[in-house]
Structure formats: C-alpha cells, structure tokens
A and B are shown apart, each in its own frame.
Chain A
Amino acid sequence: MKLSCEALYAQSDVILAWVLGLPAMAALLLYITKRRKWPLLLEYARTTNHRKIGLMYIGGGLLFLFRGGLDALLIRAQLLLPEWSFWVLQKDKYNGLFTTHGTIMIFFVAMPLLVGLMNVVVPLQIGARDMAFPYLNALSLWLFLGGAALFNVSFLFATPPTAGWTAYAPLALGPNPGQSYYVYSLQISGIGTLLTAINLLTTIVRHRAPGMTWARLPLFTWASLVAAALMLFAFSALSAGLLLMLMDRQFGTDFFTGAGSPIYWQHLFWIFGHPEVYILALPAFGLFSDIIATFAKKPVYGYGAMVLSIILIGFLGLMVWVHHMFTVGLGPIANTFFALSTMAIAVPTGIKVFNWLFTMRGGRLQMTTPMLFALGFIPSFVVGGVTGVMLAVPVADFQFHDSYFVVGHFHYTIVGSTILGIFAGLYYWYPKLTGKQLNERLGKWHFWLFIAGFHMTFLPMHFAGLQGMPRRTYTYSAADGVFGYNAISSAGAFLMGASMLFLVWNVVRTHRHGRPAPADPWDGRTLEWTVGSPPPEQTFEPMPQVQSAEPLWQAKRSGRLMAEARQTRPAPVPARPLTPLVLAGALTAGAMAMIYRWYVPAALCAAVVLAAMLIRSWRDERIDWYAGHVRREADRQTLYADKRAGVWGYLTMDAIVFAVFFVTYVLYTPSAQGPQPGELFEPGSVLLATLLLLPSSATLVLAERGLRRGAPRLMWLGLGATLALALGFAIAEGREFYTYAQQGYTPATSGFLAAYYVLVGLHFAHVLFGAGWLASLMLQRRAGHGPPALLEEKQRIFGLYWHFVDAVWIGIVAIVYVPSLL
C-alpha cells in the first residue's frame, strides 16, 4: 500500500490520537514513578473494598465520559453547517463516531458511573460492611475495564464499529473488525455487569443492618435493588444475543441473515435494550429522592408509592421492548399491545414526579449543588417522559422513528435523568467517595452551564426530526431546512463541554486544597452519614440497630445516640488478590486474538483464564479467614447462605441464557435445507448420554449424604462416581458432535444445526467445566486443603451447579431430542 498524503490525511484522526496518546501515556507513567504512586496503584489493583472499587468505576466512567463527550463534540462540529466537511469526519468516519459515542456512553459511562455510586453508597445506606462478595466485586470491575479498553482499541486501529450502538444485522455482520470489537467488548463488560447484579442483589437482600426492614430502605437502595434485578435479566439476554451474533460473524452461521432473521436480533437487542433504559433511570430516580428529601429537610413524600412505582416501572419495563420496532411490521395487534404497555409506564413515573414535587412543598429548600441538579432534573426528565408517551403512539412513531426527534427524546431521558443524577450523586456523596467536599461555587457554575447547554443541544433536535431529519446522517442539505436547529444544537453542545471543565477544575482543586469533610456535611437522614468521610475499611463498628426509615435524622432530632445492635452478622470476607486483574486481562487479550482469528494465542489466554480460576480456588481468601476470624458455626452458616444466594443469582442468569437458546432452537428448527433432526439424531447415543448424566446427580447426592453423616467412604465413592459419569457423558456427547462433523454437518450447515450446536454445545461446556471443578475439589479434599467446613461448603455449592446442569439436559432431551424421535 502506498502511503500518499491523502491516505495519511484520511486517517489523521487516528494518527492524532496516537501522537497525543503515547506521550500522554509516557508522561503519566513518569508522573506515577516520580510521585512514587506505584504502591498506591498496586494497592488499588488488589483491593476488594467496596469504596475503592466504586471509586475506580467512577474514575473509569468519567474518563470514558470525556472520550464519549469528545465524540459528541466532533459529531456536532460535523453537523454545524449543511453539506459541510469538518476535518475527515464524514461517511464511515462519522458512522464510527456516533457508534462509538452511543456505545461508550451507555456501556462505559452511564453504567460504570451508576455501578460505582451503588458500590460506594448502597452498603453504607443499609449498614453492610462491604458488598456481599468482595472478590467478585473486584472481578466485575476489571471485566468492565477490560471490555472498555478493548472497545477503545478498535478506534486506535482505525476500525471502530460503524453500525450504531444497536448493531442491527445484516449491516453489523459486514467485514469490519470493529463489529467484532463491539461484540467481544460488550460480552466481557457484560459479564462484569452480571456479576455486579448478583453482588448487589445479595448485598441488599442479606446484608442489611438489624432492623433495616424493606419499609425502611432508602430509595436509592430500593432503586438499585430493582435495577440489579433488571440487570440480571437484561444482560443475560444480551449475552445470549451477542453469542449468536458472534457465531454469525466468526463461524459462518446465519442466525440474523439469509435463512435467519434480522428481526430476531432486534428482538434480542431490545429485550435487553429497553430494560437497560430503566437500569439507567431507576438509580437516578432513587438518588434524587434521597437528595430532595435531604435538602427539603423533609422525609420523602409517599414513600410506599415511591417503592411500588419503582417496582412497577421495573416490571413493566420488561414488556415494552417492541415500541422500538413499531415500523418493522410485526402487525397491528403487536403494535397496539406494546403501545398500551408503554403508555402504562407513564403512570408510575408520574407518581414519582408528583411525589418529588410534594416532598418539596412545605419544606426548607437548600439550594446546594446536588439540589440544583435535582431541580434541573425534574423538568428535563418530564420533557423526556412526555415525548416518550408521544413515541408510544405507533402511528405517531411512524413519523418520529429513526429521526432526530428520537435522538432528542432519549437524550432528555438519559442525560436528563442518568447524567444529571450521576453529577448530583457525585457532589452529594463526594465526601463518602474521597473524604473531601467539592466546591459549591464551581459546582453551581457546572450546573448552570450544563443545564443551559443541555436544553440548547437537545430541544432543537425534536424539531429537526419533525422537519424530516433522519438520525445517523453525517450531513444534510440546505433545502432540508434544518440548519437553524443544528446550529443551535452544536452551540449548546460546546457549552455543555465547557461546563465539564468546571467539574475537572473542581475535582483538581478539591484534591489539592480541599479540607477534610465531616461525616455528615449535609445534615443527612440515612446511615451513610453516620460513618466517617471517607468511611474506614471497617465500617459500622458498632453496628446500628435501625429503628426507622431515617435513623440518623431521628437520632439527631431526639438528641439520642443511635441504638446499637447486640447481634451482628459476620462481615464479607476481604482479600488482596491479583487474579481478578489477571483473569480479566487474559480474557480481554484472548478476545482480541479471537477477533483476528489468532487461535493459538487465544487458546493460551483461555488457559490463563482457567489457571486464574484454579489459583483463586486453591488460594481462597476464606481459608485463612475461616481459621482466624469465623469461629462460630452460626457465622459460617450465614456466610454459606450468602454464597448460596449468589449462586442462585448465577443460576438464574444461566437459565435465562439457556432459555434464549431453547427459544432459538425452536424458532430455527426444522430448517428449509440441510438434514432434519429426525434424520440426524441417533436414539442410542442420546439414551447413553442421558443414562450417564442423570445418575450423576444421584451419586452426588450420595456424596453429600456421606459428607453429612461423616462417612468418608460413601462420600469418596459418590464423588468418584460423579466424576466418572461426567467424563463418560462428555465422551458420549463429544462422539456425537464428532460423528456429525464427520458427515460434514457444522454450525454453518443450517439454522437448525447452528441452534443445535449453540444450545447443546453450551451445555457440553458446562459439563466439562463441572468435571474440572469437581476434580479440583476432590484434589483439595485429598490434600486436606483448607478447613473442612470450607470444603463442605464448596462441595454443596458445586452440587447446586451440577443439579442445574442435569436439569438443563432434561430440557434438551425433551425439546431437542424427543420431538425428533417421535
């Protein structure tokens, strides 16, 4: 390839990123070395403390906010004038810009910033001493950072994804490796999100302080709970969908093209995508409720209705996804149903708005920066909400859909609730994050400029849309009559960008000159203001006995100290591991190798991932902890019950993924071409596999009985038999795959075979993983590695997993094999 000047200029955005990025990187490393910050970094790399992890989430989120924001400014620069060419940012450069902007903002800005705030605040609000699974929490963080880093690499290689954040097939299945970056990076960070969801759910359900009943939970925690439940559901569906897209991109299947259906991807994407909107909005709602109550000096109005509406919004949010697909042609009945379900969401949302307003009525409103953001949020979000109702009207949506009206609408909702919420949360909880308080004057500058820029940017977009401007277009003509709207929009965007400089300056200044904040700087009402700023690593010593929904407020008003709980549950077990970082790093590197089909390095990375898991299992932090700290049997049982709750969360996620693949199988079977199930399956081998796998559940039960009765022989017999049966199944099932492959039947052969391999192959992978897990457990037991109580716990946890794997097989036999044999 000849390097002409034009070719260089055409890539000058990427070149500039390298030219600026490398020296900046070098300067950063130099700075770290000079200031002797490496020990601090290592400390953070190995921490499992919820506050430090939350801080890293927030740091990452803010970093990517600047990346995504820069993209937004470049978009607005390109759209400033009709038929204009700003720099090189037309055509696919532009398409890369908005795709990167949207994807980064949703997955690597809004999500981590909220998750970061939840990490810091939720445990403090409910009197938990940490997140339920500190080790897992670290893993989630590094998976998020790994996925985010991978996504950003695609731009540095000049191949960003260009098919929009929705990655609609068939467009997203083109040769651009950027689309593979999209798939893998969302998959990796998505696993992190799923683990976070499990962690949050378990924390809120099991780690509340004594007396912290459901009716006393602060609304931010309530919202986080419902958001976490939605995350578990939505990200499982996304994960399954991404796996199918990956198969299409890399292994020649046709799920979303040709014989398959592009509409199926749209369903999967929006079954994830709509709940995602509420994952972003609900925590902001909760946080504003807390903030408004604090600064109105009144309890939140209609607490019960607030909680119910959070739950109702979450629930309804699961069944409205087709409102993104009104123009697809699913038929009048589907459109009508989803129109009505969407409109219904307006009711609980309206309840919340009026309750916020009436929380303020009769109060004493303190115009602090967080409160200003709350006051800015209400009208902004209401505009986003009412345009949402307008969009819910299908025939109106025929006009709005895919136009700038929609771009205006969703920025009003996401920026108006989530981003304003995140800013409010940052100012409000900054003392808990860092121990210092942000400057109020700079905060107000930030607020006023941001809110002015925000309305200037996004309000005109509605009119541009009504004027006929489609979204995702890199320019427009003078005759389109949208220049005025776009000019205002672009000016507003730069105003918003300028406002962010005040935040940066505020953070820097506070870091340098800020004075330590007291524990309760805002005259707060809830438990997070009872611990220090920043909270110590051991919080809630002594543990409070909660007696009302606003324990601190009550204590302050009554002039009495908060009651202390007599009995407390054991704290989650901290650790100082490096494995989460290594595991996430290897997964990320392996994904990158897969994108370019370098299978050997990919396999090496996979080996590192497995090794990291093994190391974690063998060097479990609980080994010392159980010996040193947890002396009481009841405490051990409590920790075991935490673990079991988390595993149920994991199984739920797994079950959703399998459910998607079952549905996929039913949809794609039989296929028009290729062999039919009846011609392919051999009853004999299915029967053999079943006869091997199902008894393994029984032998495992025997092993558990042996364990409980203190009969080691029975236990070993049971474990050994289970392992042997599992391996037998793996061989039988492997042989089945092998014979099909021998006949030339691969996932690429037909839709039926693709769906078959994905479903049964995933189960096969579960069996292999389980066999390895069991073998490792048996070795640990043989070696007497760790206290017996811990080994017992591990065996029981394995049991849950293994019975689940067996149950899935019964489903496979019933849905895949039996119909074809009849």
Chain B
Amino acid sequence: MRRSGRLLCLLGGSALLPLAGGCSVRVLEPASETADEQAKLIALSFAIMVVVTATVLALLARFVYRYRERPGREPGLPEQTRGNRWLELSWIVVPILLLAVLAVPTVRLTMAQSPGAELPADDAEAQVVHVEVQAEQFAWTFRYAGGKTSHDTLYLPAGYTAVFHLQSRDVIHSFWIPKLGGKVDVFPDRETTLRLVDVKAGEYQGKCAEFCGTEHAWMRFTAHVVDPAAYEAWLAG
C-alpha cells in the first residue's frame, strides 16, 4: 500500500525536487483504506500520464534535435507533407485505450466513494462511529455519540469506519484530513457526509480546504486516531 506512494514520489517528486525536504507527501502516505484506494488510483493515473508525457517529450526532443535548422544541413525546402491517415488514427485510438484503462477503476471508485453514495450494506455490522461536525469561521466542533463534544481536535477509534455528518453555521467550508482521505464540502442549510474506512492509529493534520474568509489558513484541527479502548475512555472521561 505504501509502495504505490513511494513509487510515485520517486518518479515525480524526489527526482525533480531533491531539495524539497525528502519525500513525504501526505496524500500518498494513506492511513485509511479510503485514502489508500485514492492513492492507488492517483498512482495509476500518474503512471499512465507519465507514459503520455514521456512519449511527447521524447518525440519533441528528437524532432527538435533532428530537424532544427543548422549550418551544414542541406538547404531547400522540406517536403510539404500534410498528414498520414494511419499515424493520425494511432493517436486517436491509443489515447482512448489508455483512458479506458483509467476509466474502469475511476467509475467503480466514484460510484462507491462519492458523497451521497449509498452506504454499503455491511456497514451495519462493521465497526462504525458517527461524528457530527459543525464548521464555522474558523473553528471545528465535533459531537460524538453520547453527546460529548470537542473543539478543533477530533478523536477516532483505530480500525473503525468513521462517518462524518457535516454542517456549516455560516459560509462553505471543506473537511479534509489528507492522510485519511479526500475532502467533502461543508454547507450551511445542507448536510453532507464523508465516510473514511478503516482509519489507522496516529495523529493527523485536518484542514479547511474551501476558502472561507480571513483566517481560512488557520482553520485547522488535529485528528487523533487512538486504539478503541483509549477512545472509549476518552468518550467517558
């Protein structure tokens, strides 16, 4: 699971930006099943796109090198070719095939993960915690089963699936814990939900991703994913 992330890093990040402080990019070091699926899809799309980009770069480099005007090259005009049916067909068909490879997992995961998607039936048995999240300029309030609340710190039991019920008191915000998965926007007068499957123990940065005003930069929280016993103790305490 972490391999996909590292691989991607290796290809992109550290190769180009050795200065930029090693290669820890949170999105590609997932700590939940949801984030893992997302990271894998990102890696797949990245791999396909590397192929495309590399092809273009190689052709570009070759053509520029080979056909650039330089002294000694025979003068006279190049042949005025206007196209070639088979070549042109190839760069219609191959991209379609590449996109199809990407489209299949895309559709599958989109149907499963999009906010508003039906919750899978086995959710009932699985270990699920529900958290009500209230966003306002520029703070987060979390309310847990039993009524306990916390501000700007979120507690979750490790190994559980977390379902967040998100509402805003003012403008639009967006709920994002990069290591645990992608974001969902938080609206006034409308509830959205976010489901993160199988969260791993650890301490993670949470952020507001939708611009919401003056202190948007600091509308943050910390997510503590702790073992279930510790979570129960915290809830009771």
Q: Chain A 132-172, CB within 8 Å of chain B: the 1/0 string?
A: 00000000000000000000000000000011100010110
Contact of B99 among A343, A354, A382, A479 (CB under 8 A): A343
Bound: A626/B170 CA distance, A: 61
- CA–CA, A263 and B73, complex, Å: 61
In the complex, what's the smallest C-beta–C-beta distance from A75 to chain B, in angstroms?
A: 13
Contacts of B53 in A (CB 8 A): 379, 382-383, 386
Report the separation of the CA atoms of residues A336 and B81 in the bound assembly, to the nearest whole angstrom.
41
The 10 closest A-B pairs by CB, nearest first: A398-B182, A484-B20, A473-B217, A386-B49, A468-B178, A329-B115, A332-B114, A472-B211, A466-B25, A354-B91
- How many residues of B are counted as interface, with CB atoms below 8 angstroms from the partner's CB atoms? 91
* Given A346-B99, A357-B56, A402-B210, A331 and B116 contact (CB-CB distance below 8 Å): yes
**Is A439 close to B, CB under 8 A?**
no
Q: Is the CB of B111 within 8 A of A402?
A: no
Residues of A within 8 A of B111 (CB): 332, 336
Chain A nearest CB, measured from B73 CB (Å): 7
Task: For B67, give its contact among A361, A378, A398 (CB under 8 Å).
Answer: A361
Query: Is B88 in contact with chain A by the CB < 8 A criterion?
Result: yes
Given the known inter-chain contacts A397-B182, A484-B21, please indicate yes or no for A382 contacting B114, CB distance below 8 A.
no
Instruction: Point out the residues of chain A lying under 8 angstroms from B214, CB to CB.
Output: 91-92, 95
Assuming the contacts A350-B95, A473-B216, asked whether A393 and B172 have C-beta atoms less than 8 A apart, the reply is no
A485 with B102: CB separation less than 8 A? no
Question: A539 near B: Cβ within 8 Å?
Answer: no
B69 at the interface (CB under 8 A from A): yes
How many interface residues does A have (CB within 8 Å)? 94
Asked if A534 lies at the interface with its beta carbon under 8 angstroms from chain B, I say no
Contact status of A357 and B95, CB under 8 A, knowing A343-B102, A467-B25: no
Chain B interfacial positions (CB closer than 8 Å to A): 12-13, 16-17, 19-21, 24-28, 35, 37-39, 41-42, 45-46, 48-49, 52-53, 56-57, 59-60, 63-64, 67-69, 73, 77-84, 87-88, 91-92, 95-96, 99, 102-103, 106-107, 109-117, 170-172, 174, 176, 178-179, 181-185, 187-189, 192-193, 205, 207-217
Instruction: Determine if A170 and B19 form an interchain contact, defined as CB atoms under 8 angstroms apart.
Output: no
Residues of A within 8 A of B (CB): 91-92, 95, 162-164, 168, 170-171, 257-258, 262-263, 296-299, 301-305, 326-332, 335-336, 339-340, 343-344, 346-347, 350-351, 353-355, 357-358, 360-367, 375, 378-379, 382-383, 386-387, 389-390, 393-399, 401-403, 459-460, 462-463, 465-468, 470-476, 479-481, 483-485, 488, 557
State whether B217 touches A475 (Cβ < 8 A): yes
Contacts of B172 in A (CB 8 A): 168, 170-171, 262
Nearest Cβ on chain B to A239's Cβ, whole angstroms: 24
Q: Given A347-B95, A350-B91, does the pair A398, B45 have CB atoms closer than 8 Å? A: no
With a CB–CB cut-off of 8 A, which chain A residues contact B60? 357, 375, 378-379
Asked if residues B183 and A390 are in contact (CB atoms below 8 Å), the reply is: no
Residues of chain A lying within 8 A (CB to CB) of residue B95: 346-347, 350
Contacts of B114 in A (CB 8 A): 326, 329, 331-332, 335-336, 394-395
**Complex formed: what's the CA distance from A463 to B178 in Å?**
13
On whether the beta carbons of B91 and A396 are closer than 8 Å, the reply is no
Contact B110 A362 (CB under 8 A): no
**Interchain CA distance A523-B87 in the complex, whole Å:** 29
Determine whether the beta carbon of A484 is less than 8 Å from that of B67. Answer: no
Separation in Å of the A112 CB from the closest CB of chain B? 26
Docked CA distance A172–B139 (Å) = 19
